[in-house]
Amino acid sequence: MTSSGFHWRGYDAYLFDIDGTLLNTHDGVHYNSFHSALRAIYGCEGRIDDVPVHGNTDIGILRAALAHHASLRDGEFEARLPQALDLMCAEVERNVDRICPELCPSISDLLGALHGEGKLLGVVTGNLERIGWSKLEKAGIRQYFDFGSFSDTREKRADIFRNGVEQAHRLRGPQTSICFVGDTPADIGAAAALGLPVIAVATGIYSREQLAEHAPPLCVETVADLL
């Protein structure tokens, strides 16, 4: 329980966003893979710098970048998308040694505590699957997670969260109680759309005050406030 009265520790499963929640990266490996895909697959020299990426998905970011910088025929984005996603994943895996993830404060302590209690842990992220697991492997926390829901076939965050819930229910049964952990208004909104609780953490680009405006059940500076 916290001062908010929210009994956050009583859930069977916890589903975490990756970027800004579990870790932050500033190495440019994932970032540069977008530009490689835009250039090689779509013939576009545009950048993703003017696209909102926090709370977005990899497919959503590609789509928005092309809307800003290129004109495609109907269906052309989707037709080339499998090649673009495969190129992005391959480039990140090829440069995995250059990924420099910085774990958010007390994340290892929280994951260790929840894992020790037998909680089911998953990731729900806008990353592509191969990219997301690469980040977690490099950060040394992959072993805590039983499953993940990614953006390879789901462009909308709410659909990614919904798939995470479905996986948790398959693994632990339909009565499994679930709490999300995320760092953006999009995470709060996706959890709310499913009628499930979320712990909002201000370890991404949004402050605690900005997140609190979206009325999550619990909002903290870092997960250290939970321990």
pLDDT in tens, 155-194: 999 999 999 999 999 999 999 999 999 999 999 999 999 9
pLDDT at site 49: 94
Q: From CA 46, how far away is CA 35, in angstroms rounded?
A: 7
Q: Of the candidates 119, 113, 107, 147, which has an alpha carbon nearest to the alpha carbon of residue 11?
A: 119
pLDDT at 213 exceeding the cut of 80 = yes
For residue 20, what are its two tokens? 């800004």
CB neighbours of residue 181 within 10 Å: 27
Which amino acid appears at position 133 of this protein?
W
Give the model confidence (pLDDT) of 31-52 as tens digits: 999 999 999 999 999 899 999 9
pLDDT digits (tens, 9 = 90+) for 65-121: 999 887 888 899 999 999 999 999 999 999 999 999 999 999 999 999 999 999 999
What's the predicted TM-score (pTM) here?
Answer: 0.95
Q: Is the pLDDT of residue 21 over 60?
A: yes
How far is 45 from 47, CA to CA, in rounded Å?
A: 7
Amino acid identity for residue 134 in this structure: S
Task: Average the pLDDT over 207-224 and give the result.
Answer: 97
Place 1 in a pLDDT band, splitting at 50, 70 and 90.
Answer: very low
Query: Which residue in the block uniquely carries the two structure tokens 């928005």?
Result: 64
CA dist 142 and 115 (Å) reads: 12
CA angle 102, 166, 156 (to 5 degrees): 60
Q: How far is the C-alpha of 165 from the C-alpha of 41, rounded, in Å? A: 33
* Fold for the domain defined by 8-25+101-226: Rossmann fold (3.40.50)
| Look-up of token digits 């870092």 | 222
Rounded CA-CA distance 104/227 in Å is: 14
* Cβ neighbours of residue 68 closer than 8 Å, sequence gap 6 or more: 46, 50, 51
Beta strands in the chain (DSSP E): 13-16, 23-25, 101-103, 120-124, 147-149, 178-182, 198-201, 218-220
